Chains A and B, each alone.
Chain A
Amino acid sequence: MMTEIALNVLDVAENSVRANATLVEIEVIIDRKKDLLSIRIKDNGCGMSEEQLKNVEDPFFTTRKTRKVGLGIPFYKQAALAAGGEFYIRSELGVGTETFASFGLSNIDRMPLGDINGTIHTLVVYNEGLDFLYTYVFDDAKFTLDTREFREILGDISFKEPEISQYIMDYLTEQKAECDGGVNV
């Protein structure tokens, strides 16, 4: 079991990395009027066959050879449904995969969103072979982080350079606080 939604996002987005995506889009939307937290993760990776897609929500299905269970998607789906939300996954071979999860914002059984900045930072810094487009929406405020913009500026300077890694973390922290005033969702 994950202890925060941000860890589910990290886990599920790692699947996009393994699917050889070149672009992963992650959208976190907090809408207090609709009382909803929704998260979309969309990649342009290899996608799944109908057979795989049918089985992906089954905890006893995995494509891994190292163990016999696959709990990433089941955990994520369970977290959403337990909080009065919805979950779906769409995929097409050769096109990509999209997951959507929503959570009742005020639902007592909703996990905290947690350290979403840490998740995005980890994804971006440790997966330099692909690009991320991250959008954070809080009611009417929003910001985006597009690694393609960063890369264009930085050329071959690695995101792992301490100064750059710190810049990315600060960028996420400051922009998010500007949108949501630093509330813990």
Chain B
Amino acid sequence: MKSLEELKALRDKMQGSVTLRNESEASTRVVVGMATCGIASGARPVLTALSNAVAEKKIEDVAVTQTGCIGLCQYEPIVEVFQPGKEKVTYVKMTPEKALEVVEKHIIGGNPITEYTIGAIMKN
């Protein structure tokens, strides 16, 4: 059973070995809409998939965070990717599977997946 003692041991192990990540220093921000509209359409599994993928693949300089409603409720779950010097990319109607693809192709590979973006959806 997990105890606070175990947490102390974890801390002692981590101190020194990790350089503490600072969110404001992260160059890429991946933001998930988590208002009523987002949550009702399945944003929580998307958020979990994104943060697990970023942690598992040990991707540095990426912060996964949440935000409220941006007024595009019919396109939720929405994930926005902010990278310095690049235009914001807004992914709509996300699923955990699509989110993992975004991590692979966009965050790691550097190529946004155009077909999942709001621009592509609104054209159809």
Interface residues of A (CB under 8 A from B): 1-2, 7, 10-11, 14, 18, 64, 66-67, 70-72, 75, 115, 118-119, 122, 125-126, 149-150, 153-158, 160-165, 167, 170-171, 174-175, 178
Chain A residues closer than 8 Å to B36, beta-carbon distance:
11, 70-72, 75
B4, CB-defined interface residue at 8 Å: yes
Contact of B11 with A157 in the complex, beta carbons under 8 Å: yes
| A residues less than 8 Å from B44 (CB atoms) | 7, 10, 115, 118-119, 122
A158 touches B21 (CB 8 A): yes
- CB atoms of B21 and A160 under 8 A apart: yes
Would A161 and B47 count as touching, CB distance under 8 A? Answer: no
Closest to A2 in B: B40
Give bound CA distance, A125 to B70, whole Å: 22
Chain B residue nearest to A163 in the complex (CB): B10
B113 within 8 A of A: no
> For residue A155, which residues in chain B have a CB less than 8 angstroms away from its CB?
11
Counting from the closest, the 3 A-B pairs by CB-CB distance are A66-B71, A162-B55, A171-B2
In this complex, which of B35, B55, B65, B68 has the most chain A Cβ atoms within 10 angstroms of its Cβ?
Answer: B35
Interface check B1, CB cutoff 8 A: yes
Asked whether B7 lies within 8 Å of A18 as measured between CB atoms, the reply is no
Contact residues in A for B15 (Cβ distance below 8 Å):
157
Interface class of chain A by DSSP: helix
A-contacting residues, B33-71, CB 8 Å: 34-37, 39-40, 44, 47-48, 51, 55-56, 65-66, 68-71
Rounded to whole angstroms, the CA-CA distance of A149 and B4 in the bound complex is: 8
- For B48, what are the chain A residues with a Cβ–Cβ distance below 8 Å? 118, 122
Q: Is the CB of B2 within 8 A of A7?
A: no
**A10 near B10: Cβ-Cβ < 8 Å:** no
Cβ-defined partner of A161 (8 Å) among B21, B34, B35: B21
